[in-house]
Amino acid sequence: MKILITGGRGFLGTRLTNILNKQENIEYKTFGSCDLDLKDMEAVRSYFSEYNPDAIIHLAARVGGIEFNKTRHAEQLFENVTMLFNVLEAARSCECRKIVLCGSVCAYAGEAPVPFSEETGLFSGVPEKTVFGYGNAKRFFLTAAEAYRDQYNMDISLPILANLYGPGDDFNLATCHVIPAMINRLSDCVKNGIDEVTFWGTGKASREFLYVDDAAKSIISCIDRDIEIPFNVGSGEEVTMAKLADLIAEQVGFSGTIKWDTTKPDGHLRRKLDLTRFDQLFLDWKGTKLRDGLQKSVEYFMHKCTK
């Protein structure tokens, strides 16, 4: 089987290709933005046609942390939707038999009932305002998948992923998400003997996080299965930001004071996924516990990012 992976050199893509490297009878190709601009339709069509893949995994996305997301709505909407349609049209042109699109919890309505259900939460309102552009772009993945299935009979799967974390994450404080940001800043406090740190929000907002290797495995599992309905992928563990900070502080050895800047946004008050569909699709699934995943993330940061 020949698999073409967009965004395969990114955080999730790197972990996914690591898993594919251990599997037999699979050939894959990935590329970076310097090799192919996914916003250029003709270039995408030519590239896909030349490789002629059996399956396409679309991971490439324009996204960042909360500050980046809330100030780049138009940019994120345009780039993510443009890349989506170019990938789908190129896949149709080369008659690719299978496509896996990568959905996001950000697509859920800001006021959707918790836990977020695929049946009721995706179009029950607009995405939370701090992820308005990215969330709407990812919501459009579902609309596009249904339209291309209906008109062109294309086999498209759409796992909707909880917030990712794990080894290989982006630890740049200007662009990273909450877990790598906390690991970076708390480790820096320990290193420099600082006994106080302040994080954004109230600490009361909660999230469900998904270990990156678990996300990769769920995506790979879609390749040989015809799963037409969107399905949530998460860990089943919900944690407040305050508890998350405490867990990471314990992992890095920070024993100082953690404060919260309540003038800064929390984003969604709660994010937790309804995993009923997932449990029916993957009966023997064993995911990574948050504490174990955090330990692996901290070990990666200490080994790779502090030298």
Domain residue limits, the chain: 2-164+208-233, 166-206+239-269+289-305
How far apart are the C-alpha atoms of 307 and 302, rounded to whole Å?
A: 8
Q: Which residues contact 160 (CB under 8 A, 6 or more apart)?
A: 103, 104, 105, 107, 118, 230, 231, 232, 233, 273
Residue range 180-220, pLDDT digits in tens: 999 999 999 999 999 999 999 999 999 999 999 999 999 99
Instruction: Write down the pLDDT at residue 65.
Output: 67
Q: Which residues contact 134 (CB under 8 A, 6 or more apart)?
A: 61, 62, 63, 69, 73, 76, 77, 80, 104, 106, 127
How far apart are the C-alpha atoms of 25 and 297, rounded to whole Å?
A: 31
The DSSP bridge partners found for residue 232 are: 160
How far apart are the C-alpha atoms of 224 and 78, rounded to whole Å?
A: 31
Which are the catalytic amino acids?
A: 134
Handedness of CA 182, 185, 188, 192 (dihedral sign): negative
Question: Which residue ranges in the chain fall short of pLDDT 70?
Answer: 64-66, 307
Residue range 9-26, pLDDT digits in tens: 999 999 999 999 998 889
Instruction: Write down the pLDDT at residue 162.
Output: 95
pTM over 0.85: yes
- The CATH architecture one would assign to domain 2-164+208-233 is 3-Layer(aba) Sandwich (3.40)
Q: What CATH number is given for 166-206+239-269+289-305 in this structure?
A: 3.90.25.10
Instruction: Write down the pLDDT at residue 66.
Output: 67
